[in-house]
Amino acid sequence: MISAGLRDALSRWLDHLRALDGAAAHTLKAYASDVSGFLGFLAGHRAEVEGVQLLAALPHSDLRAWMAAERARGVSARTLARSLSAVKGFTGWLAEREGFDATVTLQTRGPKYRRKLPRPLSEDAAFAMIDRVGDQSAEAWIGARDMAVVTLLYGCGLRISEALGLTGAAVPLPDVLRIIGKGGKERLVPVLPAARAAVAEYVRLCPYEMTRAAALFRGARGGPLNPRLIALVMEKARMQLGLPATATPHAMRHSFATHLLSAGGDLRAIQELLGHASLSTTQTYTAVDAARLMEVYEKAHPRA
């Protein structure tokens, strides 16, 4: 069982991440689960040690034992790497406050894993998806709403949470949209005429008053639109178009980045547009572009 002192420390660390780093709710939930699982393992593994001392004198062998136990119960290398990252974050934070040396934990290497490449749509498929989602509802305003949301995902590279986080204050859409992304980070995103027109058409047809404070995109009863509804309408559209299951709302953002890169877009500029904290995250799209280039080469080259 985790000691009361460590439970309190974990709660304070999560509050710190929430207040100062602006961590998202689902991120905090994952961190809480990861660190709680680790502390629970240590409490059983080293029953004779309690409280902060459990982490202050932690040998590398105990970290290896925890990782081995996680792998044995079916945890993937990718998930375990995330869990270790959370454990390092918590331990480093606690070490600064309690004055112990966390070097052993902080220098522990996580399992290697192959990073999944984004699965973008082709340009034709992206355009077809935008058109098709607008045909899924018998109500014109709902069709216009769905089309406007998906157009923003592809045309501006927004996350679904960012698109649905817009309020009536954003209309009419300006030439440049100010977006608050993950961790409360702010970025400026140019708005294409097609995106501006799609949102304007939705606003024209929407039966609900468009106040500055209310959600821009509404559900059938007037409340904020549930992101699951966009996922469902895209699922229907992809089945009709014969697209793979990877044709999700987030795939539209992947498509935005990949198509910009293919057209010669600067990697740093794309990083800014996507709101990535690290360039290494954006560089994933160069692997996608290279993989697609090799596929075309193998199909088209006469000696291939």
Active-site amino acid positions: 159, 182, 250, 253, 276, 285
Instruction: Report the chain's terminal Cα–Cα distance, integer Å.
Output: 61
Q: What are phi and psi of 218, to 5 degrees?
A: -110, 150
Q: How many alpha carbons fall within 13 Å on the CB side of residue 105?
A: 25
Give the type of residue at 5: G
Locate tokens 């970025």: which residue?
187
Beta-sheet strands, E only, within 173-229: 176-180, 186-190
The CA distance from 117 to 288, in Å, is: 6
For residue 166, give both structure tokens.
């817009």
128: tokens are: 């077809």
- In sequence order, the 6+-apart residues with CB closer than 8 A to the CB of 39 are 2, 6, 10, 54
195-215: b (≥16 Cβ within 10 Å) or e:
bbebbebbbeebeeebeeeeb
- d(C-alpha 138, C-alpha 197), whole Å: 21
